[in-house]
Amino acid sequence: MVGKGHVTCNLCGSKIYSCTTTQISEIIYRNAPQDLNIFAPHNSWICGRPADLDDIHFDEMWTWSCTFRAVFLRPGQGVTFHLSGVGELRPTHYISLPRDENEMILWNHRSRSQHASAISNFVSRREYPKAFPIHERCWQLMTRILDADVIKRNMDSFVPAMFNPNHLTRSRRWSDPILVSPEVRAVLGCTAALAPRFHPTTQKFRSIDAWKPNRMTRGFLGTDPLNDSYIKSVIAKYTAKYTSQREKGCEPMSQPSIPTHTMFRRSQATFKTRNVFLPTELILNIADHLEHQKDIRALLSAFPHWFPMIPDSYWRRRFIEDNHLESNHFPATDALDWQHVYLHSDRLPRPSFGWRNRQHILSQLEGVKDRFLRRLKQKGIQE
């Protein structure tokens, strides 16, 4: 797909940047584990796999946003969609993305020409004339929230779910004519014509970042939202502290004990929450229906005697699942006080810009998830 403009991620709403001074593949090599052979060089392109980025953390500001893929669209009767592989936005702002979603092709900055001809396994603009670009990092996080196969089977519901009215251009000057076409409006579910100065983003878009990252009030957006070493160091610190306390014979302070007095179906006195005793399985089911950590804190502040009934394995699972982390990157259940870690997870990694950006992006993706699931429900499809 070839085009010019200011390209923006349709999942998080932030700009997709182009590395003008350094080859993105060299940045990947610099941040990857040593002796990792990722790419196979070709004349004007360097080939690899998107999975090669999984264990890499981009240290340089905004370099994480240079790799992206796109959902391509072919309008008409019987709209078809295609998820591309991973590529980069070249300094000329030309977009070229591989057809295979499991392939990554980056531009070879050492090539003589920035206008190298697209190779045969790139997505053809003639076949798919319109595209919705998304950061590769955002796509990775999205597939931790929603099953990738469910998304790909229901692209007709996912693409309009990406559409966020807050991610709109605010000037006629930056309008993209392809976005106001009846076909695109139909796909996005826009039954009425959009106001002249508001157009959704697909291929061209004036970024909400206001041109330069250093002008942004939320500078944390430039940091890589994946594989942040800070959260791992926080967990390591608490693991060491917990281990030291256990070696000294100091166990964590116990929570209020479970009431042992006789229980009645109907209280003869004023209702007291301490009289409410439920089986552990039911307490865990209630907690599972609460989406946010603050909601669980509120629940346990009302029923503090439920604390000792919730096992450490539950707190570890909720910490990992709520933050969409990889389970194998964290210590075992008995390695630290997971209850403390989970209930204070909103404060533990606060100094980390990468963690703040991750939480910001996840909040955007949760909105996509909600809109997507509503559309599936309307179609009568279970996730």
Residues linked to residue 46 through DSSP beta bridges, in sequence order: 41, 106
- Of 128-132, 141-145, 182-186, 343-347, least confident by mean pLDDT is 182-186
Q: Is the model's pLDDT at 198 over the cut of 60?
A: no
In a domain? residue 362:
no
What percent of the chain is modeled with pLDDT above 90? 28
Q: 145-177 pLDDT, tens per residue?
A: 999 999 999 999 999 999 876 555 443 333 444
pLDDT for 195 equals 44
For tokens 């539950």, what's the residue? 314
Please check whether residues 30 and 149 belong to one and the same domain. Answer: yes
pLDDT (mean) for 19-27? 69
Q: Is the model's pLDDT at 5 over the cut of 90?
A: no
Q: Is residue 103 within 8 Å of 47, Cβ to Cβ?
A: yes
Q: Is residue 86 within 8 Å of 69, Cβ to Cβ?
A: yes
**Cα 57 to Cα 226: distance, rounded to the nearest angstrom:** 6
Q: Is the model's pLDDT at 41 over the cut of 70?
A: no
In a domain? residue 17:
no
Q: Is the model's pLDDT at 256 over the cut of 80?
A: no
Please check whether residues 102 and 156 belong to one and the same domain. Answer: yes
- Find the distance separating the first CA and the last CA of the chain, reported in whole Å: 31
pLDDT (mean) for 370-380? 92
Tokens read off for 104: 């990554």
Please check whether residues 222 and 233 belong to one and the same domain. Answer: no
Dihedral sign of CA atoms 98, 155, 362, 18 in order = positive
Please check whether residues 101 and 236 belong to one and the same domain. Answer: no
One-letter amino acid at 94 equals Y
**Cα 10 to Cα 364: distance, rounded to the nearest angstrom:** 10
Question: Looking at the 3D structure of the chain, how many domains does it have?
Answer: 2
C-alpha dist (Å) from residue 298 to 253, 277, 287, 323, 358: 20, 17, 11, 19, 24
pLDDT for 146 equals 96
Please check whether residues 206 and 250 belong to one and the same domain. Answer: no
Please check whether residues 152 and 280 belong to one and the same domain. Answer: no
**Cα 95 to Cα 92: distance, rounded to the nearest angstrom:** 9
In a domain? residue 19:
no
In a domain? residue 62:
yes
Please check whether residues 158 and 295 belong to one and the same domain. Answer: no
pLDDT for 278 equals 86
- Specify which of 30-44, 167-181, 241-255, 325-339 reaches the highest per-range mean pLDDT: 325-339
pLDDT for 89 equals 76
For tokens 């209930």, what's the residue? 343
Q: 43-61 pLDDT, tens per residue?
A: 677 888 999 888 888 888 8
In a domain? residue 11:
no
Please check whether residues 238 and 215 belong to one and the same domain. Answer: no
Q: Is the model's pLDDT at 85 over the cut of 50?
A: yes
Please check whether residues 178 and 239 belong to one and the same domain. Answer: no
pLDDT (mean) for 269-280? 72
Q: Is the model's pLDDT at 30 over the cut of 50?
A: yes
For tokens 């929230």, what's the residue? 145
pLDDT for 202 equals 39
pLDDT (mean) for 107-118? 59
Per-residue pLDDT band for 259 (boundaries 50, 70, 90) equals very low
Per-residue pLDDT band for 216 (boundaries 50, 70, 90) equals very low
Higher pLDDT, 362 or 8: 362
CA atoms within 13 Å, Cβ hemisphere of 138: 30
Please check whether residues 184 and 37 belong to one and the same domain. Answer: yes
pLDDT for 235 equals 86
Higher pLDDT, 184 or 142: 142
Q: Is residue 258 within 8 Å of 308, Cβ to Cβ?
A: yes
Dihedral sign of CA atoms 76, 79, 80, 86 in order = positive
pLDDT (mean) for 80-101? 82
- Quote the domain boundaries for residue 205: 24-227
- Of 164-173, 242-251, 364-373, least confident by mean pLDDT is 164-173
**Cα 358 to Cα 251: distance, rounded to the nearest angstrom:** 33
Please check whether residues 209 and 129 belong to one and the same domain. Answer: yes
**Cα 322 to Cα 307: distance, rounded to the nearest angstrom:** 19
In a domain? residue 366:
no
Q: Is the model's pLDDT at 310 over the cut of 80?
A: yes
Q: What is the 3-state secondary structure (H, E, C) of the chain?
A: CCCCCCCECCCCCCECCCCCCCCHHHHHHHHCCCCCCCCEECCCEEEECHHHHCCCCCCCCCHHHHEEEEEEEECCCCCEEEECCEEEECCCCCECCECCCCCEEEECCCCCCCCCCCCCCECCCCCCCEEEEEEHHHHHHHHHHCCHHHHHHCHHHHHHHHCCCCCEECCHHHCCHHHHCHHHHHHHCCCCCCCCCCEECCCCCCCCCCCCHHHCCCHHHHCCCCCCHHHHHHHHHHHHHHHHHHHCCCCCCCCCCCCCCCCCCCCCCCCCHHHCCCCHHHHHHHHHCCCCHHHHHHHHHHCHHHHHHCCHHHHHHHHHHHCCCCHHHCCCHHHCCHHHHHHCCCCCCCCCHHHHHHHHHHHHHHHHHHHHHHHHHHHCCCC
Mean pLDDT, the chain, whole residue set: 76
Q: 314-350 pLDDT, tens per residue?
A: 999 999 999 999 888 899 998 888 998 898 887 777 7
Tokens read off for 143: 């597939």
Please check whether residues 207 and 291 belong to one and the same domain. Answer: no
pLDDT (mean) for 363-375? 94
CA atoms within 13 Å, Cβ hemisphere of 207: 20
Per-residue pLDDT band for 284 (boundaries 50, 70, 90) equals very high
Q: Is the model's pLDDT at 36 over the cut of 80?
A: no
What percent of the chain is modeled with pLDDT above 70? 67
Q: Is the model's pLDDT at 275 over the cut of 70?
A: no
In a domain? residue 383:
no
